[in-house]
Amino acid sequence: MVHEPTPVVAGNSGASRFENGSPLVVVPSWLVSLVLHSLLLFLLASELKSCGDVSGAADGELLREVGIYVKAEKDTAPQESPPTGEPADTQVAMRPESPVVSDEPPVRTALPTDRPNVVGAGVPTPAASSDALPGVIQPGGRVRSAGLPPPPPGQISFFGANDSGERVVYVLDCSSSMTIANSIGVAKSELKASLRHLRPDHQFQVIFYNVHPSVLQVRGFGDSQLLPASRVNRNLAIQFIDAQLASNGTDHMPALQRALGFRPDVVFLLTDADQPGLDARDFADIRKLNKGGARIHCIEFGQEANLNRDENFLMHLAREGRGTYRYFDVTRFPRR
What domains appear along the chain, each with residue ranges and CATH number? 164-332 (3.40.50.410)
- Please, what is the average pLDDT of the chain? 75
Whether residue 120 contacts residue 235, with contact meaning beta carbons closer than 8 Å, is answered with yes
Region 154-171 average pLDDT: 94
Residue 12 has pLDDT above 60, yes or no: no
pLDDT at 35: 86
How sure is the predictor about 32, in pLDDT bands with cuts at 50, 70 and 90? confident
**pLDDT tens digits along 245-290:** 999 999 999 999 999 999 999 999 999 987 789 999 999 999 999 9
118-127, 142-151, 312-321: range with lowest mean pLDDT = 118-127
Q: Between residues 230 and 48, which one has the greater pLDDT?
A: 230
3-state secondary structure of 299: strand
Give the phi and the psi of residue 253 in degrees, each rounded to 5.
Answer: -60, -45
3-state secondary structure of 203: strand
Whether residue 262 contacts residue 226, with contact meaning beta carbons closer than 8 Å, is answered with yes
Extended beta strands in 110-183, E state: 118-119, 123-124, 156-158, 161-163, 167-173
Whether residue 295 contacts residue 265, with contact meaning beta carbons closer than 8 Å, is answered with yes
Q: Which residues contact 211 (CB under 8 A, 6 or more apart)?
A: 175, 248, 249, 250, 251
Residue 297 has pLDDT above 80, yes or no: yes
Whether residue 206 contacts residue 216, with contact meaning beta carbons closer than 8 Å, is answered with yes
- Tell me how far the alpha carbon of residue 319 is from its chain's centroid: 50
The top-scoring range by mean pLDDT among 93-97, 135-139, 168-172, 217-221 is 168-172
Residue 185 has pLDDT above 90, yes or no: yes
**pLDDT tens digits along 112-133:** 333 333 333 333 333 333 333 3
pLDDT at 154: 76
Whether residue 245 contacts residue 175, with contact meaning beta carbons closer than 8 Å, is answered with no
The top-scoring range by mean pLDDT among 18-27, 124-133, 206-215 is 206-215
pTM: 0.58
Q: Among residues 201, 206, 192, which one has the least CA distance to residue 165?
A: 201
